[in-house]
Structure 1
Amino acid sequence: WVSVLSDAWNPSPLPETQSMAVCLLFMMVLLAKEAQLVDEPDSPLLSLLGQTSSLSWHLVDLVSYQSVLGYFSSHYPPSVVLANDCSSELIVKLLKVSAGLSAHADGRKHVDIVPKCQAFTHQMVQFLSALEQTGKITFPALEREISKLLDDIIIFNPPDMDSQTRHMALSSFFVEVLMMMNNAAVPTAEFLAVSIRTWIGQRVHGLIVLPLLTAACQSLASVRHMAEITEACIMAYFKESSLDQNLGWGPVLVSLQVPQLTARDFLEECLALGSCLTLYVYLLQCLNSEQTVKNDMKMLLVVSGWLEQVYPSSAQEEAKLFLWWHQILQLSLIQLEQNDSVLTESVIRILLMLQSRQSLMAEERLSSGILGAIGLGRRSPLSNRFRVAARSMAAFLLVQVPAEDQIRLKPSSELHLAPKAQQVLTALESMTLSKQYVEYQDQILHALQFIRHPGHCLQNGKSFLALLVNRLYPEVHYLDNIR
């Protein structure tokens, strides 16, 4: 067969060669379900199926491929996707390779590659859904198959395809997989949501994750699943091993498409889950869409409202808040430049709220509940370095905004500290004597030096936050844009 189809590798193969490739594909799918042919010793059919990767499937057109897939769908049991025997494994591989969903080592241009790959993915998901609905697949097996499907999708990279077209293609494949969550039973959908997030965390980083981000927004019926997966995608995009970080947030802003119909529910779910990166992207999108002082003020109120509702659930989540703090500082300065007393009053209130939240999050014990009220709350889940950052930032703000009617917008030759600010600075300094914070002594002393410098005012707030981020969170790449 390899020699019969050798003409396929010519720049302009004969029409008969294409017909022959289609016929061969049909024949293999037709015969591979016949037990007596695949089970016989040294089966020539199995041998032929084993040569799948070296045959010229790039000539198979969409209509022919869909016909083959239609036959496969109606004549094979859904369990074929589990590849419990050699022929099942080989026939699924044949359909995958003939669609073009494999590493493109030959550099050949596949005819109708995107719709063929989408059709293949759709068929695999259909069979998995059928197995799930009839209880014929275990959760571990389902996770394994979904992971394999996702692994196949991310290697899709035809040689002649530009990045935008590839993004859209990958996104359409991911949509097929994610749609399974919409139709599955609740326990299965929950399991799949966790499995997919695990896969994202382990298998992808950088630009390759962005089509999945787009797909999640386009396909998931559950706003909670959407909020969880979008957050996981953004985290993966900024993973340490990625080479795409210098592209910054731009590609993420383009890829996240908050569905208009469920936008409010989605944002509320993001808040409930602590999907701070997703909310940050939404914030940037809103700021970019209307660059006016009025809109800036509106978004300042929005992000400050978010801040009052969110408390990081773990040390892994805490650094996300720095992005919000930075945005509040930036938007506050824009409003203060307007020299409007009403705006200034609002901004001061927001900055005092920010300072209050920072102080609250810097506590070593949670202050919520009855025990919290008397100082016996459970230990804060946040890290010591976060407490250093939060206390430093809170102290800085207290120095710059000493009261509800006072704000330091210009440097001065000397610094007059209010009693409360002095008290907070003393408490910050005392952290250097604590064993708990011994590894952060330098950072604390540096922060104190910055805060006490009379030449620093609120205008230097972003620089101070950058200093803290650089010294305390050098490894967190989603903070690179505020360094």
Structure 2
Amino acid sequence: MYFSKIAELDKLLPSYRGALWSHLMHYCECCTAPKMPEFILYTLHTEFRRLPWKEMHPDQMLMEEFLKIERGSPKSCFLFLGYVLCEINWVGVLSDAWNPNPHPQTHNMIVCLLYMMVLLAKEEQLIGKEELPFINLLGQTSSIPWQLVGISSYQSIISYCNSYYPPSVILAKDAAAELIVKLLKISAGFGASSDSHIHLGRDCEEQMSYCNFVSTDKELSSAKEEAKLFLWWHKAMQLSLIQMEQDDTILIESVVRTLLSIQGRRSQLAEERLSSEIFRAFWLGRRSPLSPRFRVVARSLFAVFLVQIPAESQVCLKAGSEPKLLQKAQQALNALESMASNKQYMDYQEQLSQASQFIKHPEHCLRDGNNLLALLINTLYPEVRYLDSIRWQH
């Protein structure tokens, strides 16, 4: 009887926030304590689900309560509130977003919605059945103007995904995984739909931007994660070559700039100490958490790219005579070869020699960059199975 009266009261108060909003806020404040008995929560949630939540209009205050519950309340409370928020007509809630100048609160609500989707997408209870409201809501996300999500908010969400989602989510074939990856791509601005037939050059450009973002933004805190970066470097090289085959001068210049951006990050990771330029000049800074074998790969790729891309306007896409090394390329090659005399690289003499010979070989060009990567990881990372995708292609 009480819950049916709540539903009727909400219809009598159509303005402002309504009885449903007030009731849900009261629930968040009083019924989500960490030690709340589960049998009481079960009864509450069973009755609450009968209320017409589709008619509720959430605001930022309610979304902030949802985020608090995710961090410190019983799991059943988080799942219930997630269920309720998925029932809501978000396209109607965010109708202001299609105006020429959306209200700042609308921007915030879109960010909150994206956070909510990412938080809920890893909950098996919500994604296990296609008829559940979360799956339906995921399918409607292409209608939301995600371009209103700011870069700092998006980076924060990606950081959460890096921490709580397994890398395999990118390759997973279940509906929820595919839709959440699609959502992250759309909200980053990579097309209105992951299924649309975009021009090949445009599609490669968007994917290349994503590879560049991950390759340069991701912080590697330990040697356990370092091999993941090879997947991104390999993909970036593949996409670059596809774009360069279109023989578009402006496009090639853009691709080269992106590759050089990745080169800058690669150069930093190849250092034995990670710090700013001025500290590196005096051999100061914290010791790199990455392994010596990683630095062998990073410095080898750094050198081969400098040899094959002497300048932004020069790219060696065809094999020919022995490469003419400019000063930077010669310095990079000398630095690579000098590693052989450093005791921490004594176990990698063979790989260093192979890399040096590969780079100097007159029959190699930029197209062979990924071949060098495959050659090195075959012997340096034989135990890392997810790198097989690189090995099998070369």
Taking structure 1 as the reference length, the TM-score comes to 0.47
Please, which of 200, 203, 222 is the counterpart of residue 292 of structure 1? Answer: 200
Please, which of 347, 372, 376 is the counterpart of residue 439 of structure 1? Answer: 347
Shift of 1:321: 0.7
Instruction: Say if 1:362 and 1:391, in contact at 8 Å, map to a contact too.
Output: yes
Larger Rg: 1
Q: State whether structure 2 residue 309 is matched by structure 1 residue 401.
A: yes
Shift of 1:253: 9.4
Q: Whole-Å Cα distance in 1 between the matches of residues 123 and 338 of structure 2? A: 48
For 1:365, give the aligned amino acid. R
CA pair 412-464 structure 1, distance change in 2 beyond 3 A: same
Q: How does 1:32-111 map to 2 (within 5 A)?
A: none
Shift of 1:479: 1.2
CA RMSD of aligned residues (A): 3.9
Shift of 1:310: 1.9
Shift of 1:311: 2.8
Q: Aligned with 1:133: secondary structure?
A: coil
Instruction: Say if 1:216 and 1:229, in contact at 8 Å, map to a contact too.
Output: no
Shift of 1:185: 6.2
Shift of 1:293: 1.8
Please, which of 472, 475, 482 is the counterpart of residue 380 of structure 2? Answer: 472
Shift of 1:317: 1.0
Shift of 1:252: 7.7
Q: How does 1:348-367 map to 2 (within 5 A)?
A: 348-367=256-275
Q: Aligned with 2:323: secondary structure?
A: coil
Q: Whole-Å Cα distance in 2 between the matches of residues 356 and 229 of structure 1? A: 28
Shift of 1:228: 2.9
Q: Aligned with 2:225: secondary structure?
A: helix
Instruction: Say if 1:287 and 1:295, in contact at 8 Å, map to a contact too.
Output: no
Shift of 1:249: 4.3
Q: Whole-Å Cα distance in 1 between the matches of residues 241 and 295 of structure 2? A: 25
What residue in structure 1 maps to residue 217 of structure 2? 309
Q: How does 1:384-423 map to 2 (within 5 A)?
A: 384-423=292-331
For 1:311, give the aligned amino acid. E
Please, which of 359, 365, 376 is the counterpart of residue 451 of structure 1? Answer: 359
Shift of 1:477: 1.2
CA pair 376-189 structure 1, distance change in 2 beyond 3 A: farther
Shift of 1:305: 2.8
Please, which of 220, 230, 233 is the counterpart of residue 325 of structure 1? Answer: 233
Instruction: Say if 2:172 and 2:178, in contact at 8 Å, map to a contact too.
Output: no
Q: How does 1:77-476 map to 2 (within 5 A)?
A: 133-134=34-35, 184=69, 186-187=71-72, 215=124, 218=127, 227-231=162-166, 234=168, 249=171, 251=173, 255-258=177-180, 290=198, 292-368=200-276, 371=279, 374-476=282-384
Shift of 1:260: 6.5
Q: Aligned with 2:325: secondary structure?
A: coil
Q: Aligned with 2:283: secondary structure?
A: coil
Q: Whole-Å Cα distance in 2 between the matches of residues 431 and 253 of structure 1? A: 48
Shift of 1:409: 0.5
Structure 1 residues without counterparts, runs of 5 or longer: 1-129, 138-180, 191-211, 238-247, 269-281
CA pair 289-375 structure 1, distance change in 2 beyond 3 A: farther
CA pair 296-378 structure 1, distance change in 2 beyond 3 A: same
What residue in structure 1 maps to residue 152 of structure 2? none
Instruction: Give the number of equivalent residue pairs.
Output: 263
For 1:258, give the aligned amino acid. I
CA pair 371-458 structure 1, distance change in 2 beyond 3 A: closer
What residue in structure 2 maps to residue 26 of structure 1? none
What residue in structure 2 maps to residue 64 of structure 1? none
CA pair 311-182 structure 1, distance change in 2 beyond 3 A: closer
Instruction: Say if 1:308 and 1:357, in contact at 8 Å, map to a contact too.
Output: yes
For 2:290, give the aligned amino acid. L
CA pair 361-459 structure 1, distance change in 2 beyond 3 A: same
Q: Whole-Å Cα distance in 2 between the matches of residues 468 and 216 of structure 1? A: 43
Shift of 1:471: 1.7
Structure 2 residues without counterparts, runs of 5 or longer: 1-30, 39-65, 76-120, 128-133, 136-155
Q: Whole-Å Cα distance in 1 between the matches of residues 326 and 126 of structure 2? A: 49
For 2:35, give the aligned amino acid. T
Shift of 1:257: 3.0
For 2:164, give the aligned amino acid. I
Q: Whole-Å Cα distance in 2 between the matches of residues 359 and 418 of structure 1? A: 17
Q: Whole-Å Cα distance in 2 between the matches of residues 264 and 189 of structure 1? A: 32
For 1:427, give the aligned amino acid. A
Percent identical residues: 43
Which digits, 9 at most, give the CA deviation of each residue in 1:307-354, with x for residues without a partner?
Answer: 222231111111111111011110110111111110111111122222
CA pair 182-453 structure 1, distance change in 2 beyond 3 A: same
Q: Aligned with 2:363: secondary structure?
A: coil
Instruction: Say if 2:182 and 2:194, in contact at 8 Å, map to a contact too.
Output: no
Instruction: Say if 1:315 and 1:381, in contact at 8 Å, map to a contact too.
Output: yes
Taking structure 2 as the reference length, the TM-score comes to 0.57
Which digits, 9 at most, give the CA deviation of each residue in 1:188-221, with x for residues without a partner?
Answer: 689xxxxxxxxxxxxxxxxxxxxx968499579x
CA pair 338-259 structure 1, distance change in 2 beyond 3 A: closer
Q: Aligned with 1:411: secondary structure?
A: coil
CA pair 369-132 structure 1, distance change in 2 beyond 3 A: farther
What residue in structure 2 maps to residue 245 of structure 1? none
For 1:341, give the aligned amino acid. T
CA pair 259-299 structure 1, distance change in 2 beyond 3 A: closer
For 2:71, give the aligned amino acid. V
Shift of 1:414: 1.9
Q: Aligned with 2:290: secondary structure?
A: coil
CA pair 251-464 structure 1, distance change in 2 beyond 3 A: farther
